[in-house]
Amino acid sequence: MISGTITDRSGRTLSGQTAEAFWYSLSHSRPHAIGLNCALGAKDLRAHVDILAQIAPTHVSAHPNAGLPNAFGGYDETPEEMAGTLREFA
């Protein structure tokens, strides 16, 4: 299983890859699953997971945060809000 991180609102990984470029750079390894986690939260991760699901002929995973961390290192999105967003993924 391979997972990358979308680090900012541009939708790119720390190395500057889009979700599509991330897949193509690793597809030669034929992973059992490929996925994304996101510093921005589930709502902003959804479009990038959709891209992977359209092009990757393998399992796709998503591991979102509950939005951006606040100034205290916590998350302001409630479990109920995040659950509602993740329900749409399923």
Above pLDDT 70, what percent of the chain? 100
pTM for the structure as a whole:
0.86
pLDDT at 75 over 90: no
pLDDT at 10 over 90: no
- Please write the tens of the pLDDT for every residue from 11-43: 899 899 999 999 999 999 999 999 999 878 888
Give the start-to-end residue ranges of the domains of the chain. 2-89
Report the run of H or E that residue 45 belongs to, with start and end. helix 42-55
Q: Which of 13, 8, 66, 10 is nearest to 35 (CA)?
A: 13
pLDDT, the chain, mean: 92
Q: Give the residue carrying structure tokens 């902003």.
A: 44
Residues in the chain, how many?
90
Question: What local confidence, expressed as pLDDT, does residue 40 receive?
Answer: 81
